[in-house]
């Protein structure tokens, strides 16, 4: 049966072909520009039903080794360059959400790949032994792959676990007021109608106790901080993470007394983004352990790949901070944006945290 996948899934195979053809990967800056710094690739390990290693040698070949230590194939790096170029063209040209690429699948068979996405229990999509020329270390690292060739991917997925409850303060709302506001289809217009009545939203609670604990694990102020950022997004000016954080920083809700107020709040958000990128999920207790311990590989729209190595933590954080945005959940899911009266007679509304990469 032919392999079928979306652009993001085919991008994982493209990344494998491209890295093995180039034999190295360049570091990237916050704007995804390639830097002079690069990391030679010593080995790529992929596990499907069997484990295969892909090792560049001094003769510009990729030697494929099976799990028993036997040579499975020996293919020139130029062939990988050729196949990655053809695959990139096919991915870009695809019109369907899921599609086949027979020629790429044929080459995959020659190198021991039978699946588009290698099974993984962590956030790493590919495992690479790189040579860090500055430290002279050669660690085996797991990298998460993000592709700009397809739909923008999520960094932190929405769910009932990421609901945040706000209490409606200010003007007392009647049941008729609540029904009238809930009948407004647009979330932004619904919020505007609420605010026009002299109401405000004040953080009440992070609904899921595990997620609340995870946020507090990162920073005791994090639940309130995230709630404040979501309120900025709900005003509709800009959903960019950096914009929302800057707006919160102007109000300085935690009364930071230092000179670098915006950097204080930006740092809090970068801690959350990095944790979500490399291991933390809302519904599982977070221990601070990173799964994708190498960092991020980003496939740019032009097919170039840039690396955000965790050793360069500031670069990873800056990339995430500059290239993510809040996304609003559907009104039909998780009770998002709907006013309701609580058992105490007060009126509440739930907003939902979801973070997506910008396209």
pLDDT (0 to 100) of residue 131: 84
In a domain, 2, yes or no: no
Cα–Cα dist 289/287, whole Å: 6
pLDDT tens, position by position, 242-257? 999 999 999 999 999 9
Q: Is 296 helix (H, G, I), strand (E, B) or coil?
A: strand
User: Mean pLDDT by 10-residue block, N- to C-terminus, for the chain (359 residues)?
Assistant: 90 96 93 91 88 93 94 96 97 94 95 82 80 79 89 88 95 94 92 94 96 96 97 87 96 95 97 90 88 83 92 87 89 84 94 91
Q: Which of 92, 122, 151 is the last residue of a domain?
A: 151
Q: Any idea which residue has 């901080």 for tokens?
A: 225
Cα–Cα dist 103/100, whole Å: 9
**CA 173 to the chain's CA centroid:** 39
Do 272 and 252 belong to one domain?
Answer: yes
pLDDT (0 to 100) of residue 122: 61
Domain count, the chain: 2
Q: Which domain holds residue 142?
A: 7-151
* Longest CA span, the chain: 78
Q: Which of 129, 151, 173 is the last residue of a domain?
A: 151
- Number of helices followed by number of strands (H, E) in the chain: 10, 16
pLDDT tens, position by position, 154-171? 899 888 899 999 999 998
Do 180 and 257 belong to one domain?
Answer: yes
In a domain, 96, yes or no: yes
Q: What pTM was computed for the model?
A: 0.84
- Please answer whether residues 11 and 145 qualify as being in contact, where contact means their C-beta atoms are separated by less than 8 angstroms: yes
Cα–Cα dist 54/43, whole Å: 5
Residue 240 DSSP symbol: B
């Amino acid at each position: 049966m032919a392999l079928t996948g979306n652009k993001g899934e085919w991008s994982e195979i493209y990344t494998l072909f491209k890295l093995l053809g180039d034999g190295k990967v360049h570091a990237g800056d916050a704007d995804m520009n390639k830097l002079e710094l690069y990391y030679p690739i010593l080995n790529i390990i992929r596990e499907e039903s069997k484990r295969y290693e892909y090792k560049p040698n001094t003769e510009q070949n990729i030697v494929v080794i099976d799990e028993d230590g036997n040579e499975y194939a020996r293919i020139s790096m130029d062939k990988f360059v050729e196949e990655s170029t053809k695959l990139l063209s096919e991915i870009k040209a695809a019109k369907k959400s899921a599609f086949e690429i027979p020629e790429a699948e044929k080459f995959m068979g020659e190198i021991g790949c039978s699946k588009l996405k290698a099974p993984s229990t962590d956030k790493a999509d590919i495992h690479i032994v790189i040579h860090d020329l500055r430290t002279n270390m050669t660690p085996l690292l797991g990298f998460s792959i993000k592709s700009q060739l397809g739909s923008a991917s999520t960094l932190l997925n929405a769910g009932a676990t990421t609901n945040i409850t706000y209490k409606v303060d200010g003007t007392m709302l009647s049941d008729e007021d609540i029904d009238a506001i809930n009948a407004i289809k647009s979330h932004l217009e619904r919020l505007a109608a609420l605010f026009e009545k002299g109401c405000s939203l004040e953080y009440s609670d992070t609904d899921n106790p595990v997620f609340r604990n995870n946020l507090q694990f990162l920073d005791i102020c994090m639940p309130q901080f995230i709630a404040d950022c979501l309120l900025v997004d709900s005003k509709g000016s800009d959903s960019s993470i950096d914009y929302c954080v800057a707006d919160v920083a102007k109000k300085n809700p935690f009364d930071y007394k230092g000179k670098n107020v915006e950097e204080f709040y930006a740092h809090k958000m970068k801690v959350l983004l990095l944790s979500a990128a490399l291991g933390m999920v809302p519904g599982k207790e977070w221990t601070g352990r990173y799964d994708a311990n190498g960092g991020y590989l980003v496939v740019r729209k032009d097919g170039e790949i840039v690396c955000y190595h965790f050793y360069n933590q500031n670069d990873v954080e800056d990339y995430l901070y500059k290239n993510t945005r809040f996304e609003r959940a559907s009104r039909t899911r998780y009770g998002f944006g709907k006013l309701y009266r609580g058992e105490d007679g007060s009126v509440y509304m739930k907003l939902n945290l979801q973070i997506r990469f910008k396209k």
